[in-house]
Structure 1
C-alpha cells in the first residue's frame, strides 16, 4: 500500500486521473460483459421450444417464454410471433424495429470505453510534457550547474505517466475488443432467430393453405362436368 501511495506521489496528478479512468473502464467492462453473458443462451433449444408451442397453438405460452428470457434475441422472436399473421414484410419490419430498440441497450457504455482508450495515452504524453517543463524550471533555477538528483524526480514522473498511459490504453482496447466480439455475436443471433422464425411461420401458413386448395380442386372438376 505504501509503495502504491509512493507511486502516485511520484506520478503526480496526471497519474491519479489515469487511474480513475482505468477504474471506470473496468467497471464498464464488467457490467457489459455480465449483460452480454446473461443475454446469450442455447438459441436452438429456445427456438425449438417456441416452435413446438406455436404448432400446438399455444401462442400465449410462446410469448410468455420470450418475456421470461429478457434478452434481445427473445425480444425479436416475440415481435415475430406477434406479427406472424401479417405477412413477411410486416414481420421483418417489426423485427427490425425491435432490433433498433435493443441495439442502444447493447451498445451502452461502449463509446465511453473507446473514448477512454483514446484519451489515456494522450494523458501519458501530457504527463511527460508537464514533467519536462518541471525539469527546465529546475535547470533554470539551478544556473549553470545542477545535480542530476534534482531533475531525477521529474524524469521519473515523465516515465511513470507515459508507461501507465500506454498500459492503460492497451488494457482498455483489449476490453473493447472483447465486448465488441460479444456484441457482434448477439446481433448475429438476433438475425438468425428472425430469419428462422420468419421462415417457420411462412412455411406454416403455406402448409395450412394446401388442404384448402386440395378441397377446391374436386369441386372445380365437378362444376366442369
Structure 2
C-alpha cells in the first residue's frame, strides 16, 4: 500500500503560518498589515508621500522664517539714509520671502505709489503660493486614506460572507470574528494615515499663516515708510 503525500499550496502555508501566529498571540505588525490585503499597498504609499511632503514643506518653512520687525527696521534705516542700493543688497543677502517682497518695491522706487503697492502685493501672493505649494496634496491624503480604508473593509466583509456562504453557514464564531477583524485592518490603517496627514496639514497651514501675516505687516510698513514726509 502506497501513501501519496501532497505538499499544501504556498498560499495555504502563508495562511496556516498567520493562523498559527494568531493563535499564539505573536503576530507582528507586518503580519497584520499583510492580512489587510492589496488595499494596504496604496494606503502605505500615501503614508510615505505624506511623511515626505510634511518634512519637505517643514524645511521650506523653516528656511523662510525670519524676524519681520528686524528686517523692516533695517530697511527703514537704509531708506532714511537714502541708501536704496544698500537696502536692495540687504534684501538679496537675506533672501527670505519678506525681503523678496520688499525688494520688489525697492526696485520700483520713483514710480507712483500705487504701482509700487501693486508690485508688493503681487510679490506677496506669489510667495504665499510657493509656501503653500503641494500642501493641498497633504489635505487630499487626509481625506482619501480613510476612504481607501473603508473600501478595503467592504471588500474584506464581502470575502468573509462569501466564505460563510461556501461553508453553507456551518461556521463557528471564531471563524466569523477572524474574517471581520481582518477586514477592519484597512479601516484602522486608513484612519491612522488620515489623522496623521490632517494634523500635519493643519500644522503646516498654521506656520504658513504666521509667515504670511509677517509678510503683510512688513509690506504695509514698507508702503507707509515710502509715504512718510521727507525731513
Question: Cα offset for 1:113?
Answer: 0.7
Higher helix residue share: 1
Listed one character per residue, the Cα deviations across residues 46-76 of structure 1 (whole Å, up to 9, x for unaligned) are 1111221222232222112212222221111
Q: Which whole-Å CA distance do the structure 1 matches of 2:128 and 2:55 have between them?
A: 19
TM-score, normalised to structure 1, is 0.85
Q: Residue 127 of structure 1 contacts residue 157 of structure 1 at CA under 8 Å; is this kept in 2?
A: no
Give the equivalent residue in structure 1 for 2:63.
Answer: 38
1:96 to 115, 121, 124: 121
Determine whether 1:6 maps to 2:31.
Answer: yes
Change (3 A) 1:87 1:150: same
**Contact 2:105–2:117 (8 Å) recurs in 1:** yes
Judge conservation of contact 2:153–2:184 (CA < 8 Å) in 1. Answer: yes
TM-score normalized with structure 2 length: 0.83
1:172 Cα offset (Å): 1.0
**Superposition CA RMSD, Å:** 1.7
Indicate the residue corresponding to 2:143 in structure 1. Answer: 118
Q: CA deviation at 1:152?
A: 4.0
Does the aligned pair in 1 maintain the 2:68–2:215 contact within 8 Å? no
- For residues 103 and 97 of structure 1, what CA distance do their matches in structure 2 show? 10
CA deviations 1:115-168 (Å, max 9, x no partner) are 111101101110110110111110111113124444444312222111121122
* Distance of 1:158 and 1:65 partners within structure 2: 60
Residue 49 of structure 1, aligned match among 44, 69, 74: 74
Between 52-61 and 90-99, the greater mean CA deviation after superposition = 52-61
Picking from 87, 90, 108, the partner of 1:83 is 108
Segments of 5+ residues of structure 1 without an aligned counterpart are: 209-225
Which stretch of structure 1 is more off in the superposition, 153-162 or 170-179? Answer: 153-162
Q: Is the 8 A contact 1:117 1:169 kept in 2?
A: yes
Q: Contact 2:53–2:134 (CA<8 Å) still a contact in 1?
A: yes
Give me the whole-angstrom Cα distance separating, in 1, the residues matched to 2:86 and 2:29.
Answer: 57
> Is 2:205 the partner of 1:180?
yes
- Measured after TM superposition, the shift of residue 5 of structure 1 is 2.0
Partner of 1:19 in structure 2?
44
Work out whether residues 138 and 150 of structure 1, in 8 Å CA contact, stay in contact via their aligned partners in 2. Answer: no
Aligned to 1:221: none
**Partner residue, 1:136:** 161
Task: Give the SS at the match of 1:13.
Answer: coil
Aligned equivalents of 2:70, 2:125: Cα separation in 1: 25
Q: Matches of 2:185 and 2:90 in 1, distance apart?
A: 54
The answer to whether the Cα contact below 8 Å between 1:39 and 1:72 also exists between their aligned partners in 2 is: yes
Query: What is the aligned length?
Result: 205
How far apart, CA to CA, are the structure 2 residues paired with 1:144 and 1:47?
Answer: 76
Q: Is the 8 A contact 2:36 2:186 kept in 1?
A: yes
